[in-house]
Amino acid sequence: QSLLTQPPSVSAAPGQKVTISCSGSSSNIENNYVSWYQRLPGTAPKVLIYDNDKRPSGTPDRFSGSKSGTSATLGITGLQTGDEADYFCGTWDSSLSAVVFGGGTKLTVL
Amino acid sequence: QVQLQESGPGLVKPSETLSLTCTVSGGSISSHYWSWIRQPPGKGLEWIGYMFNSGSTYIKHSLKSRVTISTDTSKNQFSLKLSSVTAADTAVYYCARHTGGDGFRGVYFDYWGQGALVTVSS
């Protein structure tokens, strides 16, 4: 059971927008920074978002991150078939003194 | 470009020790923090612990009694040993570089290996 809760799956049509939620608590999301990762089939995970809403160089601006209270959200606009992947959120948990992750969300672009 | 590659046996017997090595290229392991992360089948990612400063380590509390992380700076590698394994330790194991600011509040992983599947079975 992951400490951060994500929907197991989301889907949308090409060109549409999708959001993926990540729900936590005051010991993790609310008081620390959230990162988001994309794992394309057969590849290493890649960071998409860090510090809640910052994009590393190379992350398209179709990807955005936000945080409010104990929840964070990854948004993807202009969906492409190449966006089909597993998406994970992660953050530090101050009570556990450990990094914690969500269970992952599988995105299907119909 | 930093690249990481996990290596080690894909099958380990119950009660034995799982050993994996992460080889880093394109960057020195003497700088940055380096972590091990795993994902059991059908479950989420679980962070195991990290190594920094060519030898100092921090292991997640629940695994502390079974985990050792070590380094070989001459080979630019760091390793994971997990003792007394059970079927619950079956997972894809990733090594990753972690970075971020504000202590660990801003921790994130900017480079990952492809992952190595380790199955615990007799």
Nearest to A47 among B46, B105, B108 (CB): B108
**Tokens, residue A70:** 């104990």
The per-residue pLDDT for range B13-62, each reduced to its tens digit, is 999 999 999 999 999 888 889 999 999 998 999 999 999 876 789 999 99
Mean pLDDT of all residues in B67-77? 93
Using DSSP's 3-state secondary structure scheme, residue B90 falls into coil
Q: Tell me how far apart the alpha carbons of residues B114 and B87 are, in angstroms, rounded to a whole number.
A: 22
To the nearest whole angstrom, how far is the Cα of A40 from the nearest Cα of chain B?
A: 11
Residue A100, pLDDT score: 96
Q: Tell me how far apart the alpha carbons of residues B38 and B51 are, in angstroms, rounded to a whole number.
A: 16
Instruction: Kindly provide the b/e burial profile for residues A86-106, where b requires at least 16 CB atoms within 10 angstroms of the residue's own CB.
Output: bbbbbbbbbeeebbbbbbbbb
Closest residue on chain A to B42 (Cα):
A103
Q: How far apart, in Å, are the Cα atoms of A104 and each of A4, A69, A88, B14?
A: 9, 20, 5, 28
Confidence of residue B92 (pLDDT cuts 50, 70, 90): very high
Confidence of residue B102 (pLDDT cuts 50, 70, 90): confident
Q: Tell me how far apart the alpha carbons of residues B22 and B78 are, in angstroms, rounded to a whole number.
A: 5
To the nearest whole angstrom, how far is the Cα of A64 from the nearest Cα of chain B?
A: 16
Mean pLDDT of all residues in B83-91? 97
The reply to whether residue B110 touches residue A56, judged by beta carbons under 8 angstroms, is: yes
Asked if residue B6 has pLDDT above 90, the reply is yes
Percent of chain B scoring above 70 in pLDDT: 99
Instruction: Please report, to the nearest 10 degrees, the dihedral formed by the alpha carbons of residues B64, B67, B68, B69 taken in order.
Output: -100
Residue B16, pLDDT score: 97
**Which residue ranges in chain A fall short of pLDDT 70?**
none
Average model confidence (pLDDT) for chain B?
93
Closest residue on chain A to B35 (Cα):
A99
Residue A66, pLDDT score: 97
Asked if residue B107 has pLDDT above 80, the reply is yes
Task: Give chain A's contact residues with B (Cβ, < 8 Å).
Answer: 2, 4, 31-33, 35, 37, 43-47, 50-51, 56, 88, 90-92, 94, 96-104
Any residues with CB less than 8 A from the CB of B75 and at least 6 apart, and which?
Answer: B23
**Strand A105-109 relative to strand A63-68, pairing:** unpaired
Residue A108, pLDDT score: 97
To the nearest whole angstrom, how far is the Cα of B108 from the nearest Cα of chain A?
A: 6
Q: Tell me how far apart the alpha carbons of residues B70 and A35 are, in angstroms, rounded to a whole number.
A: 27
